[in-house]
Chain A
Amino acid sequence: MTDWTTPRVSPVPLRPRQVSLRERALDRTSPLRQLDWILLVAVAALITVGGLLIWSATKQHQLNLGLDPQAFLKKHIINAVLGLGLGTTAALVDYRALRAYAPLVYLASCIGLLAVLSPLGSTINGAHSWIVLPAGFQIQPSEFAKLAVVVGMAMLLGEKRDGESRPRDTDVLSVLGLCLIPMILVMGQPDFGTTMVFIFVILGVLSVAEAPARWIGGLLLAGVIMGVGVAPHVLQTYQLDRFRVVANPADKDFAKGVGFNVHQALIANGSGGLTGKGLFHGSQTQGRFVPEQQTDFVFTVAGEELGLVGGGGIILALGVVLWRGLRIAAQATDPFGRLVAAGVVSWFGFQSFVNIGMTLGIMPVTGLPLPFVSYGGSSMFANLMAIGLLQNVHMRSREL
């Protein structure tokens, strides 16, 4: 039997060894070694391609207006750098502490969403979703609300008592209550797309949290009833048209309004072929036939100018992000981490599908950006913070 009580005496004085910065960075336990690099590379690739697409989509128009042709590219890079900082913070904070901050984050985003509906808010492209700040900055609180809902849900469902892992009805109800407030506020903007993201995230997180199947089923049923029975009475005509045009793309009534966007997006994507027309050489993009082509419709630039190779590459890179997210969820040591990861995957997965799907004519047009690729600060910040959270969970998932 080992006498484990006897202290071992070192032959050399106990003195911390001088460890070089490089050694420290490469140490097995260092945060850098424990990052999910594949995830980071995929995200970096998406942001880079996004920059190129945004540049191509805006260069000529900026020149026509006599403005800096690289303005959007530069802002995209700045957004990415600032987002990197926010993401790093989210990754390094001890997530036990994060749980403490979660209510604050949630509260802050609800206040932000409220502010949007107040006179502080501003309408851009039909949705009252922005707060315009001095010096040309705009904040879209709904992007941060997605993050807050993911964290909030994970906190409510993840702080489980030992021995009882499945959420009870009261837990589910409290989660729904938590989500209802931002959902109502977002619906009021009106931002149908973000509302749908919330619903999908709730379903994804509840599902992974092993909420009773009746809740999942019930929520799905409620969603269908909402969609079929209530939505036609609540939604604006233009919002309904966005659904109708997917069902009847050839309908002449849609040719001018929302159908025009979809039609032009289809032409842009479809005319790209296998390898595309070359960056800066897409006639649809350069002629600005596709609306919002640096933000919501940015995928059409890839489809047209980079073809199946570029567009497929973006889809695959998003697939890598989702795959790593699911892997992180699977490897997470505690329910909180697993639920955060599942929430982020649900969010990115649904949002990517709706965004790309609308440019391909299989989903209704909504104002959802393509994660990491679309131009937009709020979305970039929220997305990178979510990636930071994934890394945070990842770093603590290995047995140390």
Chain B
Amino acid sequence: MNDHSALRLVVLRVLVVSILLTLLGRLGYLQVAEGAHYRSAASANRVREIITPAARGQILDARGKPLVSNRTDLVVSVTRSILRSQKDKGAAVLQRLSRVVGIPADQIALLITPCGERIKKGVVARAPNCWNGSPLQPVPIQSYRADDLAQIRDVLAIEEHAEDFPGISATYAAVRKYDQGSLAAHVLGYLGPLSQDEAKKPKYKGQVFGSVIGRTGVEAVYDDQLRGVNGVEKLQVDLNSTVTGKLGTVSPIAGDNLVLSIDAGIQKAAEDALAQGMAAARTRTDPSRKRHFIAPKGTAIVVDVTNGQVVAMASNPTYDPAEFVPRITKKNYDVLTSTPGDPLTSAATQGLFAPGSTFKIVSTAAAVKAGNSITGFYPCPGSLKLGNRVFHNFEGESTPNSIDFRTTLIKSCDTVYYQLAYNDWIHDGGTHAITHPREVFPKMARSWGFGSKSGIDLPDERTGLITDRVYKQHFWEQNKTKGLEYCRHAKQGYPAEPDKARAAYLTLLAKEFCTDGYRYNAGDAALFAIGQGDVLVSPIQLAMAYAALANGGTVFEPRLSKGFLSADGKSYSVQAPVIKGKLPVSAPVLSYIRSALQGVVQPGGTAQGAFAGFPLGQVPLAGKTGTADVLNKSPTSWFASFAPANKPRYAMVVMVTEAGTGGTTAAPISRQIWNAMYGFGGHKPLLDPGGQLPAALPVVLPNGSIGPPGTVVPVPPTLRKAADASAPTGSGTQALGAPVIWLAERRTGRGPS
């Protein structure tokens, strides 16, 4: 062999050595450096988790009456991967299934097709006619009431002849049942299925795509406690998801029962009175518009002034949460979203309105804070010229002499407040504000809880609006050139606006705003004092303000939750009252205002008509009407009240939009509710003797049902510590019937799923 050949062999040797080193190095890197990653990937590969849903806790009223409980449904589901492994891709099975469930086979085939998959050339499966979950997961096709024996007989045949229905399952599932129909729908809320993206969030750990979670109301706020902890069965599987072994089981823990402060009886009375009152308003004519009031939306709220608990909270129009079980149809949803008054949102917490004269309790306190005497007398002319603008009393009424605050509140004289607010505005420098303006009126409004969320345990509460100098300046800076671009519109007008007159008007406003929009002028201050103009409140904020007035100055956060009972009845937790703030108003001033408001429901007051004949001797009442003007609409009708006026326990706010004066629409509704609570006017009292509501929580009886507060049980439940008050502790009670089993897809995601 010559040197050349030897050299060429060396090349081959070097190649061989480098090949071997590359392989060894790569293998070592994968197994040692990346080993942990691949070990977890391998375990994710072979482990499937089967989730056993925990029974969702019931929602009870303060007396233990179930508002929401669970019902068992029989759900027919199709697992597409099993169908596809049939010789005919499952066509025959779908035909048989079609005869049982009464849905055409081709439609079932569509429903189980993963969204985005090509159906035929150029046609891709699209929602809602497709499945947006995992292809290995059973797709629910039809559900039946489990107690409807006639209907489910055919469905049960699926299980009996399982060999004819590969990939089809009929399993029992617990779904929500609304024991009182649509009662308190806005409080309770509804459930909706978890989307695939949500299921990945840490908040929903242990939940799988398709499990139902609270979407609105207390179902959403207390979802964690109600949901319980799902059970998990870990199975070892092979590539074809054939189970090859069992790795462990964790039993589900049933969710806690939620006890609401709502009293079902008072809630019903409030909803009925509200609905009747709104219907009645629609028969009355708005004199300034020459047509019937529309009264599209209304609310009635009753709160316990001693602790902030909500006793009743009605919102009209309402909806039936049962429509969301198991999921709402598109048709029903479209109907709900197109109904006037927007039934899906709560007027109590999600509606913002000008409070009108109900706001005068705040203005009175502010006026006193500004240095005016609570016992002083103030002129009440029919109109008042402030700067270059004339402000009128409602319907131009006036009194010849100066009046005190009592009379001002009873008669609801606006000009007194215009003048007092104007005085304070002047004190702050008028349009040329001093460096540190007192801003007594807006500050007072904030300390009563306006302009910030009440803190109620409901989602999507709105904040409202309290306008002061700082806010105006800020809003102007945000919108003169950016945002609403007033200065651009001041120059260019509104060419996109078809109505020429309106465009001209808007342009005028834009010009004014562009140059003077930062100014807090006399009109702003004057209108603020009578709850008009740039002030917006939610009815629940107003209710808490009246509760604070009634209880001597404590602003509570409203609470719907009273506490939780564990499903097994062994433990419970209690919702403590949460104080939001204290009114910066002295006790004599509050006492004066309370006493003055008693006159509103008496002869001479603005609500005298509504409360004529009410036994004020038995239950003294105090209240304030409000009639808030709304541009181009009938006024908002308000009535805020509390009782008993001498020892207040409950505050009530009733509001109906586009329904006229407070005295004609809201006050009569309020009276109806007071009647029902205290048992006047032929009603049986809904309150316990002494005007009380039960303080204790209901109890879980040994048989699992709920007993009213005070029921004696053999083993009294123990009070949970505050730290774990929110964690469900019930032991492994399962959902009603056999649970629906969802295959959790928890592989690392690269597999042929």
Q: Do A and B bind each other?
A: yes
- Does any Cβ of B come within 8 Å of A288's Cβ? yes
Contact call A283/B12, Cβ cutoff below 8 A:
no
- Does any Cβ of B come within 8 Å of A312's Cβ? yes
- Given A260-B750, A271-B35, A357:B23 Cβ within 8 A: yes
Contact call A259/B31, Cβ cutoff below 8 A:
no
A291 CB, min distance to chain B CBs, angstroms: 9
Contacts of B30 in A (CB 8 A): 266, 269-270, 303, 360-361
Contacts of B749 in A (CB 8 A): 255
- Given A266-B38, A268-B42, A312-B28, A208:B12 Cβ within 8 A: yes
- Does any Cβ of A come within 8 Å of B151's Cβ? no
Contact with B along A45-57 (1 / 0, CB 8 A): 0000000000000
Chain A residue, CB-CB nearest to B6: A330
B118 CB, min distance to chain A CBs, angstroms: 14
B236 CB, min distance to chain A CBs, angstroms: 7
- Cα separation A284 to B750 with both chains bound (whole Å): 14
A264 CB, min distance to chain B CBs, angstroms: 8
Contact call A315/B12, Cβ cutoff below 8 A:
no
Contact call B16/A326, Cβ cutoff below 8 A:
yes
Q: Which of A234-242, A344-352, A387-395 contacts B (4 or more CB under 8 A)?
A: A344-352
- Does any Cβ of A come within 8 Å of B504's Cβ? no
- Cα separation A304 to B2 with both chains bound (whole Å): 45
Q: Which of B425-484 contact A (CB under 8 A)?
A: none
- Does any Cβ of A come within 8 Å of B246's Cβ? no
Contact call B19/A353, Cβ cutoff below 8 A:
yes
Contacts of A88 in B (CB 8 A): none
- Cα separation A273 to B42 with both chains bound (whole Å): 12
Give the contacting residue for A319; candidates B9, B12, B20, B244; CB below 8 A: B20
Contact call A274/B236, Cβ cutoff below 8 A:
no
Contact call A362/B752, Cβ cutoff below 8 A:
no
B239 CB, min distance to chain A CBs, angstroms: 5
Contact call B8/A349, Cβ cutoff below 8 A:
no
- Given A284-B45, A362-B22, A271:B38 Cβ within 8 A: yes
Chain A residue, CB-CB nearest to B47: A283
Contact call B238/A286, Cβ cutoff below 8 A:
yes
- Does any Cβ of A come within 8 Å of B37's Cβ? yes
- Does any Cβ of B come within 8 Å of A22's Cβ? no
Contact with B along A318-329 (1 / 0, CB 8 A): 110011001001
- Given A208-B9, A284-B42, A289-B45, A345:B23 Cβ within 8 A: no
- Cα separation A264 to B238 with both chains bound (whole Å): 12
Contact call A269/B27, Cβ cutoff below 8 A:
yes
Contact call B39/A271, Cβ cutoff below 8 A:
yes
B95 CB, min distance to chain A CBs, angstroms: 30
Contacts of B502 in A (CB 8 A): none
Contact call A259/B9, Cβ cutoff below 8 A:
no
- Given A260-B752, A329-B9, A267:B31 Cβ within 8 A: no
Contact call B45/A308, Cβ cutoff below 8 A:
no
Contacts of B19 in A (CB 8 A): 349, 352-353
Contact with B along A209-224 (1 / 0, CB 8 A): 1100000000000000
- Does any Cβ of B come within 8 Å of A146's Cβ? no
Contact with B along A348-390 (1 / 0, CB 8 A): 0100110011001110000000000000000000000000000
Give the contacting residue for A307; candidates B1, B15, B31; CB below 8 A: B31
- Given A273-B32, A273-B35, A319-B20, A283:B26 Cβ within 8 A: no
Q: Which of B241-276 contact A (CB under 8 A)?
A: 242, 244
- Does any Cβ of B come within 8 Å of A272's Cβ? yes
Task: Tell me if A's interface is mostly helix, strand, loop or mixed.
Answer: helix
- Does any Cβ of A come within 8 Å of B41's Cβ? yes
- Does any Cβ of A come within 8 Å of B24's Cβ? yes
Chain B residue, CB-CB nearest to A322: B16
Q: Which of A273-311 contact B (CB under 8 A)?
A: 273-274, 283-284, 286-289, 303-304, 307-308, 311
Contact with A along B586-618 (1 / 0, CB 8 A): 000000000000000000000000000000000
Contact call B2/A165, Cβ cutoff below 8 A:
yes
- Cα separation A361 to B29 with both chains bound (whole Å): 12
Q: Which of A162-216 contact B (CB under 8 A)?
A: 165-166, 204, 207-210
- Given A255-B750, A273-B31, A342-B9, A267:B16 Cβ within 8 A: no
B746 CB, min distance to chain A CBs, angstroms: 15
- Cα separation A287 to B32 with both chains bound (whole Å): 23
Give the contacting residue for A326; candidates B12, B22, B35, B238; CB below 8 A: B12
Contact call B23/A207, Cβ cutoff below 8 A:
no
Contacts of A259 in B (CB 8 A): 750
Give the contacting residue for B12; candidates A207, A273, A288; CB below 8 A: A207
Contact call B1/A287, Cβ cutoff below 8 A:
no
Residue among B13, B19, B24, B27 with most chain A CB within 10 A: B27
Give the contacting residue for B23; candidates A208, A256, A273, A353; CB below 8 A: A353
Contact call A338/B5, Cβ cutoff below 8 A:
yes
Give the contacting residue for B31; candidates A272, A286, A357; CB below 8 A: A272
- Given A271-B35, A345-B12, A288:B238 Cβ within 8 A: yes
Query: Would you list 26 pairs from A and B whose C-beta atoms are within 8 A, ordered by A residue?
Result: A207-B8, A208-B5, A208-B8, A209-B5, A209-B8, A210-B5, A260-B750, A264-B750, A268-B42, A270-B37, A271-B42, A272-B35, A283-B42, A283-B236, A284-B45, A287-B45, A288-B239, A289-B46, A329-B12, A330-B1, A332-B1, A346-B12, A349-B15, A349-B19, A352-B19, A357-B23
Given A267-B45, A288-B238, A353-B19, output 4 extra A-B contacts at Cβ < 8 Å: A204-B12, A289-B238, A319-B16, A329-B9
In the A-B complex, list the 3 residue pairs whose CB atoms are closest, starting with the nearest. Answer: A270-B38, A287-B238, A271-B42
